[in-house]
Structure 1
């Protein structure tokens, strides 16, 4: 067999696609449960096998080369065909992964996370529930969910911390506060953990406030902010487009950091791989 006809190694192609998906050797290594050095070696061998560079690497960025942009289409098709071939040999029912994601975590990046998961495991049935962190933890403890990604609102220490985020006070650029009057706030309904930390911060700073809007989710609270109804305590990722951070301009108290935590009871290896892909995607987006 000539070198031209030598088959490509599936694991090596998979490593390339994961690096491309996450734009990171570190994240790809986390997903594949291996080392960054092992991923780098696989990419080097694949590029040598193909005879051209697939990735352009700098100390801060990883992106596809023009040849890599072309090759990744075939690479994804190869991985999908491989997954389907393995699936056709299995007598088991399709795998279902039921994941809960906190409303304060999901935000506008949810479509990206879902597309990454679908590309990673095309045979998996993914069920996602969006709710408050407190409700999702309760459902997880009742064995209703395989895994949850939530904000840590208590002393629980049995989860994996994905990232630590800081909250800020966000308002419409046209919003004004009249000195001497209560601060007008848009919040989620109690018992929301983010609402609690915001109220606690205001009361410790002895700032009077009044609730002018109560939303059933982060999207509705963001809409109230954009409409100029009041300010809201939000992570920067989930703040509505165009909103501005107004802590300094209005002398508002600094809000504490919040841990985004993964809890999982998944035991089968393939689902654990999928969950590692989700975790790596969250880390990559949340740390931007």
Structure 2
């Protein structure tokens, strides 16, 4: 009977989830070469190739797909067994900007729970400015927020990635000729709203509010319903919306910075937080 190296299995699951040796290494706080070596030893031990490696992408092989669910179950059972011996349940109060969260939050939460079942994740979603205020007031342990080019930079943030906003609409959507551009926007104050309107004003494009939402999900739904075009990041948009800026002759929107602000020090919670941020990067 073959005995599996749990560290190697955990590395395999992270590579499968994050689709990257580099991001998996970051989540494990190790090097890419160390993760690669673990995976090669696991494959040799099993006698099956688990991954298809190409210069640009990492994909699971047929054997890797078959092994993945069992690998998750093994890690989950291991973590539950350890958790049963400890009454210590940690809590992580995390703020996540609605403009960053993405559309598959359930999969992200399931991944965190499988990785760290002893963690009580207290998730707060909202506007970046509000989340940063709560972080400064020590009501949140960490926040992942979005900032625009004209925001005052903070020195306590770790840059995770940059990405542009897009003018998103259904493929066939068109504004009525001779009328101001209909927009679906978040209610003020919202940095994405502000910079989008300034960009239109700077280009001399007349606009009007066609829909104002209290959350990104509502704004995306309005755009998907054909009410308007909306300035959003692709990651948070409903399926079916496309970048329509060029087609509609709209000015390009600037890139935003997505940053992590954290005071988390517990090693296990740091690892779980790193898993969250790497999953967001991979979306």
TM-score by length of 2: 0.91
1:177 maps to which residue? Answer: 175
Aligned length: 280
Query: Unpaired segments of 5 or more residues in structure 1?
Result: none
Query: Which residue of 37, 40, 45 corresponds with 1:41?
Result: 37
Q: CA 1:211 to 1:143, structure 2 compared with 1: closer, same or farther past 3 Å?
A: same
2:136 maps to which residue? Answer: 141
Alignment of 1:213-232 (within 5 A): 213-232=211-230
Distance 2:222 2:70 in 1: 45
- Deviation digits for residues 11-33 of structure 1 (CA, Å, limit 9, x no counterpart): 22221222122222111101001
1:190 maps to which residue? Answer: 188
Question: How far did residue 130 of structure 1 move?
Answer: 1.4
2:70 maps to which residue? Answer: 74
Query: Unpaired segments of 5 or more residues in structure 2?
Result: none
Q: CA 1:185 to 1:90, structure 2 compared with 1: closer, same or farther past 3 Å?
A: same
Question: How far did residue 199 of structure 1 move?
Answer: 0.9
Question: How far did residue 68 of structure 1 move?
Answer: 2.7
The question of whether the paired residues in 1 share the 8 Å contact of 2:103 and 2:238 is answered with no
Question: How far did residue 91 of structure 1 move?
Answer: 4.2
Q: CA 1:201 to 1:13, structure 2 compared with 1: closer, same or farther past 3 Å?
A: same
2:254 maps to which residue? Answer: 256
Alignment of 1:62-141 (within 5 A): 62-92=58-88, 94-141=89-136
Query: Which residue of 184, 209, 212 corresponds with 2:210?
Result: 212
Distance 1:229 1:89 in 2: 54
Which consecutive segments of 4 or more residues in structure 1 shift more than 4 A? none
Distance 1:45 1:39 in 2: 10
CA RMSD of aligned residues (A): 1.9
Identify which range, 244-253 or 139-148, moves more after superposition. Answer: 244-253
Distance 1:277 1:61 in 2: 19
Question: How far did residue 268 of structure 1 move?
Answer: 0.4
For 1:17, what is the secondary structure of its paired residue?
helix
1:11 maps to which residue? Answer: 7
